Amino acid sequence: MIEIIPAIDIIEGKCVRLTQGDYMQKTIYNEDPLEVAKSFADIGITRLHLVDLDGAKAKHIVNWKVLENIAKKTSLVIDFGGGLKSDDDLRIAFECGAQMITGGSIAVKDQNTFTGWISKFGADKIILGADVKNNNIAISGWEEDSGINILEFVEGYVKKGITKVISTDISKDGMLEGPSFELYQDLRQNFENLYVIASGGVSSMDDIIQLEEKGIPAVITGKAIYEGKITLKQIQTFYK
């Protein structure tokens, strides 16, 4: 069964969502991310995708206290991302309760450091972030086109030991118009053993069911939950 992973994005300690990664198109959904996290845990969800958007902008971890609070007060398995650039950032993230981290821009700009993390911490703790725009990897808060094709990028890191990838189609993110089914099918078909986590555009449980039918192992959803397009009761029923 497909794994449903709710997302909490953090700006100034608050639960927010952006549209297509645009900081100017920000909606605050809750002042207390812990309250949101607990609502997920209460229905039996076990995973959480936590993104430090302030950190992504600052290029170093910022909202570590939010991470620590959620990790201490829930049993959620948290993967944490946003601005992780140094060994010290990872040390803080893991010490504050992250069980996995996601690295995107650094996997493009500083391959030696990112590859070193895979070796040091193990592939079970390091997730490759592959954010896509027009089939190329986008970096630096989605503002920069790396010119690197998504499949070539992922293939390079699969050879280095990566086993999990979160791929977001930027054109779909926050639009509630459905995910990029073709993108995730391509990843699945090219890398059969890769744990592909779809992200961006999910608008309903039907989208999640379609991803499951196409063999996608996991999906991240955020805005659809916060906008009531997917209810926690629907997710709870899906798992029963």
* Residues identified as active-site: 9, 131
Query: Residue holding tokens 């500083």?
Result: 110
Q: What is d(CA 42, CA 232) in angstroms, rounded to the nearest whole number?
A: 10
Closest CA to 1 of 232, 182, 216: 216
Whole-angstrom CA distances from 189 to 98, 113, 193, 195 are: 30, 28, 9, 12
Closest CA to 215 of 188, 197, 186, 180: 188
For residue 197, list its beta bridge partners.
166, 218
Query: Residue holding tokens 């959904």?
Result: 29
Q: Determine which helix (DSSP H) or strand (DSSP E) holds 174, and give its type and residue range.
A: none
- How many residues in the chain? 240
Closest CA to 18 of 56, 66, 70: 56
Yes or no: say if 179 and 207 are a contact pair by the CB < 8 Å rule. yes
